[in-house]
Structure 1
Amino acid sequence: MKIRSHPSFLHLLIMLFVASVQSAHVAAAGGTGPGIYKGSYSSDAPGGDYGAVTIIVDGQGNTACNFHSTPTNDERITVGGMVNSSSSHFALTCANAGISFGGGWMATTDSASIAGQSLSGTWKSVFGPSPPITGTFTATFVSGLSPIDPAAITGLWYQPGMHDGGFNFLFADQGLYVTYMGVTFWAVSFDGKPVGVPLGSPYWLISDVGPQTVLPGTAFSVNVFAPPNPPTTQVGPAQAEPQGSLKIVFFDCKLATATLTGSTFVPSNLSWNLHKLVGAANGPGC
């Protein structure tokens, strides 16, 4: 027996299909667009800066951005931006925390940007040179957010140009453990008298257990602890002291950021832009 589709029924199916495509396009244009976007940037000034762009949008619309200069190898790494999900287009920002301290830069997308497809926009210096330095950038969606291989994260990490210490990231069966080993590199005084931990004192931190999986550009926090007053060579039991928390964002298995807040040893928040120094023996490549 043959079943014939009524013309009006076919028309209805076509209308529903077109409507679904249009709805998906609108959602993509103005949604949060989680995923990884890669491209390039350049300066408006002749002979100005240029380089590679990586922008990661997490599932909540937060952004992690890296504008990596080709001429200088410097990196503008930020994790303070976000997507404006109420905008008619894919509007996001990459904001440098440095703007709070009299300098920095920020980048914003324009109306041609579409979530899950491509980004374009402008960047400029903020509270810096006058007139500000400006430029443009473009980036293309390259992948969604898949967990980073824990074995590829495990290893020693450091911030180039800083010699205060470094981090050890270790994935165990329970999850990620973070250790920081270094010395204090800040000096705080009030009326000429030292306040807090003296400059050059050992400063060691160890975390409680962190997540079992890590997604690119997606922040997580771990509580951290330190031996009291700070560590010494004295033998005997010591009660670990809470030292606030570390907020960590991995871009991939080579680049991450870490921010320490709430430590009694530290005069203010501390942030690191971390690069992987060495991984575990026979570990996977990255």
Structure 2
Amino acid sequence: MRVIKFLKSAFVGLSLAVGISQFAAAQVGAGTYTGTYSGADRGSISITIDQYGAVSCTLSSAAGNGTYTGKGGVVSQSPFIFTCDQHNFPNYLSVTGNGTAGETLSGQYLVRATTSTSSLQGNFSVSFSGSGNGGSNTLSPQAISGLWYDPAFSGTGFNFLAANNGFFATYYGRDAGGSPLWLISIEVPVGSLKTNTEYTTVLGTTINGTFSSPSYQVAEWGQLTVKFDSCTSAKATLSGKDGTQNLNLQRLGGIAGVTGC
């Protein structure tokens, strides 16, 4: 019993520490940055970073090659590094930058011209031109991905993954009879994740196979509905064959190197 209480207290303490550090870091670098890019193409560039670390970028060619837009996130707060991309041909865009948050950022771009198949690349430099959160409530996929749990249900929890093809959730816990229960998303919402918006993923569980001879046969168990308050807290409802739980989730651990929201 003492071990269980100690682990529960440790989890709560770690979660609170993570939440406090994420909240403090979330304000760093938020705002709008404007400047120019040059090289194989040239023009103006605008980069917006919101309070959750989501990034949007726009390159407008002065040489008649069109406009490129993309989305990404803050990869690291110290050093400050961000990415922004769009991989839908022919509007390919890749932007990687770093610098001093709230001052000047610079880096490299790679685009594929809309009028040819040639790749255009070079450098850019932008300066901070406006404070605020960028007018967006989009959450950084890197900040959302990781381990989440409700302290009231210590010993169970989720692994969230905001992937290119949707929002996936894996649940580790117990069923109504006390046996281990492992659920994974079999139908997922796609697109960017925003605060104060409900997302539902259908959960299933494998019903056959052994350790040495796994078999991919999945039975639908129920669903998980999640509404993120921020990149460190969320409200969720887990409902299915074993009942319903209303959860106040906290992010317990995230991706190594991602220190901002």
Same fold (TM over 0.5): no
Structure with greater strand share of residues: 2
- Where on the TM-score scale, by shorter chain, does this alignment land: which range? 0.3 to 0.5
